[in-house]
Amino acid sequence: MDIDEMDIEEIEATAEINLSELGESFLQSFCKKAATSFFDKYGLISHQLNSYNFFIQHGLQDVFESFGDMLVEPSFDVIKKKDNDWRYATVKFGKVTVEKPTFFSDDKELEFLPWHARLQNMTYSARIKVNVQVEVFIKTVVKSDKFKTGQDEYVEKKILEVKKQDILIGSIPVMVKSVLCKTSEKGKENCRKGDCAFDQGGYFVIKGAEKVFIAQEQMCTKRLWISNSPWTVSFRSENKRNRFIVRLSENEKSEDYKKREKVLTVYFLSTEIPVWLLFFALGVSSDKEAMNLIAFDGDDASITNSLIASIHEADAVCEAFRCGNNALSYVEQQIKPWRAGFSRWGNERVYNGRSGEMMRSLIFMGPTFYQRLVHMSEDKVKFRNTGPVHPLTRQQVADRKRFGGIRFGEMERDCLIAHGASANLHERLFTLSDSSQMHICRKCKTYANVIERTPSSGRKIRGPYCRVCVSSDHVVRVYVPYGAKLLCQELFSMGITLNFDTKLC
């Protein structure tokens, strides 16, 4: 059954049918088609665009309105002796206007597209203008009839001047494919200019680099997380982000192995503390008060036995823990050796690597292993040494192997190609050898230099610019070996210009 072909009568008839009568296969097919149609229409990042559009259309205005009336008080001046000479002002933000992204070049206002920002190493942003109202007034003391008002005098506000003006208050980055982005309006027309037809947007272009939002799933720190294999209750502290785990474990000190009782313990900082001790360390004064804090069924014999066994376990571990601060001292004594995450004396509780079970005895870990744990591979900077290079061509020296720099010959190259190691070949012979980049103008097919110029907007911009076309709209960046770039520069110094044919990929 196809969802698109269902008419209204079929939908009403289907709604009256019980879900159990439809069958599992129909429900799975329906959910799959519904999810597919939703993502086909809105995409995977529509929530990012909707959130940004809502902020631009409504949230930005609410931000400026939240400032209210800002009072500007005058500074002290000896010359002004009278109260009438002191002028006050209130500033209030009005309507906020966000313009479309534009770019100024040679006293002309041009369209500003994302691919322009990538090539020019600029930020794809739009200007924000706010209607600001400035009200200038003075405060005068006016005498009044005390019989009517109850006061001899009061302060009256006298307005001198009111100004309203649209001012440029700053700029905001524009999300690609949002309501401010021009690529969302033109579609296929921009694909011919250089934008990708499959680009869904949802990211920013900051100084030529693409910046995206990464969705992260975080656990709620105010909930208890319960699992049944084994039975474990976890709670993460909101302040220190340390995990507290309450375990229902066996009492190892029981004489009869088959009749071991279940006790409640709290696992924290690599140590286990009886839960009854923790209650008294937190300020509980009696066993009755601790029982009132626990919600349980008194008719359940297994839970009652576990609580009684937990009390006996606390008595066996710490004598007289109900008196004074004995419970708090015991908890401090147990946690202090593991304050840094490891045992101070090297005795750790480890797990069997073959079976996954926790070993009953403590294992001594020497200081050498702790030093190794500090220097993990994730903490070190990962790099590959290219070795010494020639100052002119930026290629490796003639030696086969010297100080980490390796130069491949024809036999090594053929061997890598034969074994399908094209990525390794590209990395060693290009990326780590003499990789470079140059800018080509697709219109006149000449080499575009990176210069610093001052457009009509007044701010200096450094980026590729074609002096032949007097524009930067058709400039693209290509990756070439430095030897090819050096050859082009040397020929250009001799008056020979090379033309390059480029193709977007």
Q: What would the pLDDT profile of 111-163 be if each residue is shown by its tens digit?
A: 788 888 888 888 888 889 999 999 988 887 777 766 565 666 777 788 888 89
Same domain, 231 and 86: no
Tell me the per-residue pLDDT of 430-445, one tens digit each, with 9 for 90 and over.
Answer: 777 778 889 999 888 8
Mean pLDDT for the stretch of residues 230-237: 66
Report d(CA 169, CA 254) in Å as an integer. Answer: 74
Q: Is 84 left (phi over 0), alpha (psi -120 to 50) or beta?
A: alpha
Tell me phi and psi for residue 340, to 5 degrees: -90, 5
Residue in 489, 488, 465, 352 with CA at minimum distance from that of residue 120: 465
Residue 54 confidence (pLDDT) above 80: yes
Q: What is the DSSP string of 420-432?
A: T-HHHHHIIIIIT
| E strand or H helix at 120 | helix 114-120
pLDDT at residue 132, rounded to an integer: 92
Residue 394 lies in a domain: no
Residue in 39, 142, 134 with CA at minimum distance from that of residue 91: 134
Residue 315 confidence (pLDDT) above 50: yes
Decide: residue 178, CB within 10 A, 0-12 exposed, 13-18 middle, 19+ buried.
buried
What residues contact residue 168 under an 8 Å CB cut-off, 6+ apart? 127, 128, 129
Residue in 368, 292, 278, 287 with CA at minimum distance from that of residue 331: 278
Sole residue written with tokens 């990708």: 196
What DSSP state is assigned to residue 338?
A: G
Residue 493 confidence (pLDDT) above 80: yes
Question: Are 201 and 183 spatial neighbours (Cβ–Cβ below 8 Å)?
Answer: yes
Residue in 272, 124, 324 with CA at minimum distance from that of residue 204: 124
Same domain, 190 and 277: no
Token pair in block for residue 432 = 């780590």
User: Which domain, by its residues, includes 295?
Assistant: 225-341
Same domain, 189 and 278: no
Residue 284's CB is within 10 A of a number of other CB atoms, namely: 18
Decide: residue 101, CB within 10 A, 0-12 exposed, 13-18 middle, 19+ buried.
buried
Question: Are 251 and 260 spatial neighbours (Cβ–Cβ below 8 Å)?
Answer: yes
Positive or negative, the CA dihedral 261, 266, 269, 271 is negative
Decide: residue 373, CB within 10 A, 0-12 exposed, 13-18 middle, 19+ buried.
exposed
The letter for the amino acid at 284 is V
Same domain, 202 and 238: no
- Mean pLDDT, the chain, as a whole number? 74
Same domain, 67 and 198: yes
Same domain, 260 and 142: no
Question: β-pairing, 203-206 with 209-212?
Answer: antiparallel
What residues contact residue 430 under an 8 Å CB cut-off, 6+ apart? 481
Residue 68 lies in a domain: yes
What residues contact residue 102 under an 8 Å CB cut-off, 6+ apart? 109, 110, 111, 112, 127
Please report, rounded to a whole number, the percentage of residues in the chain having pLDDT higher than 70: 66
Report d(CA 196, CA 188) in Å as an integer. Answer: 9
Same domain, 188 and 241: no
Calculate the CA dihedral of residues 207, 213, 214, 216 and round it to 10 degrees. 140
- The residue out of 303, 318, 341 marking a domain boundary is 341
Same domain, 257 and 316: yes
Residue 404 lies in a domain: no
Token pair in block for residue 58 = 């409504």
Residue 451 lies in a domain: yes
- The residue out of 291, 324, 341 marking a domain boundary is 341
Residue 205 lies in a domain: yes
Residue 33's CB is within 10 A of a number of other CB atoms, namely: 14
Task: Give the model's confidence band at 31: pLDDT under 50 very low, under 70 low, under 90 confident, else very high.
Answer: confident
Residue 142 lies in a domain: yes
Question: Are 443 and 469 spatial neighbours (Cβ–Cβ below 8 Å)?
Answer: yes
Runs of H (alpha helix) within 318-395: 326-335, 367-374
- The residue out of 321, 341, 361 marking a domain boundary is 341
Residue 363 lies in a domain: no
Mean pLDDT for the stretch of residues 53-72: 88
Token pair in block for residue 248 = 């229902």
Residue 228 confidence (pLDDT) above 80: no
Q: Model pTM?
A: 0.42
Same domain, 76 and 26: no
Residue 346 lies in a domain: no
The letter for the amino acid at 192 is R
Residue 179 confidence (pLDDT) above 60: yes
Task: Give the model's confidence band at 299: pLDDT under 50 very low, under 70 low, under 90 confident, else very high.
Answer: confident
3-state secondary structure of 107: coil
Q: CATH number, domain at 445?
A: 3.90.1800.10
| E strand or H helix at 172 | strand 153-173
pLDDT at residue 470, rounded to an integer: 84
Sole residue written with tokens 């597209």: 113
Considering only residues 245 and 267, tell me which one the structure prediction assigns the higher pLDDT.
267
Same domain, 192 and 261: no
Same domain, 177 and 62: yes
Task: Give the model's confidence band at 251: pLDDT under 50 very low, under 70 low, under 90 confident, else very high.
Answer: low
Report d(CA 279, CA 276) in Å as an integer. Answer: 5
Q: What is the 3-state secondary structure (H, E, C) of 245-257?
A: EEEEEECCCCCCC
Tell me the per-residue pLDDT of 78-107, one tens digit each, with 9 for 90 and over.
Answer: 566 665 667 888 899 999 998 888 877 777
Token pair in block for residue 384 = 């590959």
Task: Give the model's confidence band at 241: pLDDT under 50 very low, under 70 low, under 90 confident, else very high.
Answer: very low
What residues contact residue 157 under an 8 Å CB cut-off, 6+ apart? 137, 138, 139
Angle in degrees, CA 487, 491, 492, rounded to 5: 115
Q: CATH number, domain at 307?
A: 3.90.1110.10
| E strand or H helix at 129 | strand 125-143
Mean pLDDT for the stretch of residues 210-225: 68
Mean pLDDT for the stretch of residues 373-394: 54
* Overall number of domains in the chain: 4
Tell me phi and psi for residue 184, to 5 degrees: -75, -15
Residue in 484, 497, 488 with CA at minimum distance from that of residue 394: 484
Considering only residues 221 and 202, tell me which one the structure prediction assigns the higher pLDDT.
202
Same domain, 105 and 183: yes
Task: Give the model's confidence band at 368: pLDDT under 50 very low, under 70 low, under 90 confident, else very high.
Answer: very low
3-state secondary structure of 27: helix
Least confident of 57-61, 229-233, 469-473: 229-233
pLDDT at residue 291, rounded to an integer: 81
